[in-house]
Amino acid sequence: MTQPIEQQMFSQRFQKSIRLTHHVSTRMEKRDISLELLLDLIETGDIRHKTESDL
């Protein structure tokens, strides 16, 4: 089992600080999501807005 990450980064896309908590790292490990993939999704991924049926 890998050591959970807890670090702070900055998103160029959103111009905001991003803090990866213990909870995030635990969920990433469970879903087999790498830090590289997460950072790519933050910077290039689609934003999905909730529709009325999702509320």
Its pTM stands at: 0.66
* DSSP per-residue letters across 2-34: PPPP-EEEEETTTTEEEEE-HHHHHHHHHTT--
C-alpha closest to that of 17 among 42, 34, 47? 42
Using pLDDT thresholds of 50, 70 and 90, give the confidence band for residue 15. Answer: very high
C-alpha closest to that of 19 among 9, 29, 11, 28? 9
Place of tokens 């807890």: 6
Quick: pLDDT tens for 38-50: 999 999 998 677 7
Please provide the average confidence, as pLDDT, over all residues in the chain. 84
Q: How many CA atoms lie within 13 A of 34 on its CB side?
A: 3
Q: What is the per-residue pLDDT for 50? A: 74
